[in-house]
Amino acid sequence: MSLKLRAISVVATAILLAACASTAPVATTPAPTIERSAAHDNLDATLWMQSAAEHDAALLGTYALARQQLDAALADANWDALPDGERKLAAAGLPPAIITDADETAIDNSAFQARRIADTSGGGFKYEQWLGWVSERRARALPGALAFFRYAAEQGVTVYYVTNRDDPAERAATADNLRALGFPVAADGSNLMLRNDPRAPGREKGTRRGWIGERHRVLLMLGDNLGDFLDGIGGDVAARQALVERNRARWGVQWIMLPNPAYGSWESAVFKGCGERAQTDPTGCKRAALRVQ
């Protein structure tokens, strides 16, 4: 190599080393981890409910199954979907009925969840905000729900909406919302049974299911929460899974469960294993409950 070429090579190498030195990453202190609020923990779940084609496909398939099972139930005089111990009178000869939850089963409240996520003031669930949403009467029908419940009504089946919305504060708005969407609601609202309904008061739904069972043969039950099918579901994760297993033969046959990843008693079950941390660090509690293998 000539002296001229060698000089050029040395200069080029020096320039390259200088460039590398100027662009090398500077060591910094890692940014602190910021735990998300409970509302922001709902971001993916709520977005899935509002935008995923898979969500709509799952619900359409679920309601197609419900219609298939309704036809089977109508053809079988011995068919009875009430949980063990809740039937007081023989079902034979009674007129047919369906028991369904409302929120996230027949109607979609994901806009309320989205508002909580967008609210930067923080804090957990606030009943007054929920009541404001209910009063707007803007919940939408979930995919497949309206067609199914109309079909049931056309077959002479009474549809009972057994919901844990509060009676009387939320009764009128709930009835108006369901009627406006086209769901079969009696003129007197008698097939709408909210929590603390004077006909069968109580927080859990068993008393209301029992009241219906005294008057109807229950063909199907539909919901998005274990409490829509059984009482006594407030245990930990293992206890609730045992309830599901104990009633294995019912699922997809007489009991139709719909997906709701945004909220429900499943979340309370997870928190039971965290003690004080459930209040001070709910996101950390959830992370600790994850299975990694």
Q: Which percentage of the chain shows pLDDT scores above 90?
A: 78
Q: What is the pLDDT of residues 135-169, one digit of tens each?
A: 999 999 999 999 999 999 999 999 999 999 999 99
Is the domain of 234 the same as that of 116?
A: yes
Give CA–CA dist 214/254, Å, rounded: 18
Query: What integer pLDDT is reported at residue 90 of this predicted model?
Result: 84
Instruction: At 284, give phi and psi (nearest 5°).
Output: -60, -35
Same domain, 215 and 282: no
Q: Which of 171, 178, 92, 89 is nearest to 142 (CA)?
A: 178
88 and 210 housed in the same domain: yes
* Segment 184-189 mean pLDDT: 98
Q: Is 100 exposed, middle or buried (0-12, 13-18, 19+ CB in 10 A)?
A: buried
Confidence check: pLDDT of 27 > 60 = no
pLDDT category, 18, cuts 50, 70, 90?
Answer: very low
Cis ω on the peptide bond leading into residue 168 (within 30° of 0)? Answer: yes
Residue 22: is its pLDDT beyond 70?
no
The number of folded domains in the chain is 2
State residue 29's pLDDT score. 42
CATH code for the domain in which residue 242 is found: 3.40.50.1000
Q: Which residues contact 217 (CB under 8 A, 6 or more apart)?
A: 79, 80, 91, 92, 93, 94, 95, 96, 97
Residue 114 has pLDDT above 60, yes or no: yes
Range of the domain at 141: 56-262
Task: Give this prediction's pTM.
Answer: 0.86
- Nearest in space to 46 (alpha carbons), one of 123, 112, 130, 125: 112
Residues 223 and 240 grouped into a single domain: yes
Residues 178 and 221 placed together within one structural domain of the fold: yes
Q: Give me the torsion for CA of 269, 274, 280, 286, rounded to 10°.
A: -60
Which of 32-36, 83-87, 229-233 bottoms out in mean pLDDT, i.e. has the lowest?
Answer: 32-36
**Average pLDDT for 249-278:** 95
Locate 33 and state its tokens: 């981890």
Residue 33 confidence (pLDDT): 40
217-223 and 140-141 as β-strands: parallel, antiparallel, unpaired?
unpaired
Domain annotation covers residue 148: yes
Q: Single out the residue of 152, 134, 163, 184 nearest to residue 71, CA to CA.
A: 152
- What pLDDT is stored for residue 149 in this prediction? 99
- As a whole number of angstroms, the distance between CA 152 and CA 147 comes to 9
On whether both 163 and 273 belong to a single domain, the answer is no
Q: Does residue 176 surpass a pLDDT of 90?
A: yes
| pLDDT score for 13 | 42
Asked if 236 and 291 sit in the same domain, the reply is: no
What is the distance in angstroms between the CA of the first residue and the CA of the last residue of the chain?
Answer: 60
> Mind listing the pLDDT tens digit for each residue in 120-129?
887 788 999 9
- 193 plus 289 within the same structural domain: no
* Residue 9 domain flag: no
